[in-house]
Amino acid sequence: MSRLGLYPNPARGALRVAYLASEAGEVRVRLLAVSGRGRLTTAYQAVKGSNSFQIDVSGLPGGVYLVQIQGAGLPVVGKLVIAR
């Protein structure tokens, strides 16, 4: 697995985020529209190694977003398309 996986992409409802953390700890997850405006921010507890969680994106408008994960030995950034 690469350091960040976003499935399915394009997403319509639930988005699965999978990533590798080099250490345990809190991670902050942000979804940003390409315009730079924040759309969603949340926090999760990561374990060292493989992690995954789901985000409900059904309430977000369609478009291109950046997914940023920071903390626990990260940052990583990925591109997400939300289809409507």
Q: What does the pLDDT look like over 33-51, one tens digit per residue?
A: 997 777 899 999 999 999 9
Tell me which fold the domain 4-82 belongs to.
Immunoglobulin-like (2.60.40)
pTM (two decimals): 0.88
Name the residue ranges covered by the structural domains of the chain: 4-82
73 versus 56: the higher-pLDDT residue is 56
Q: Pairing state of beta strands 49-56 and 14-21?
A: antiparallel
User: pLDDT at position 1, please?
Assistant: 45
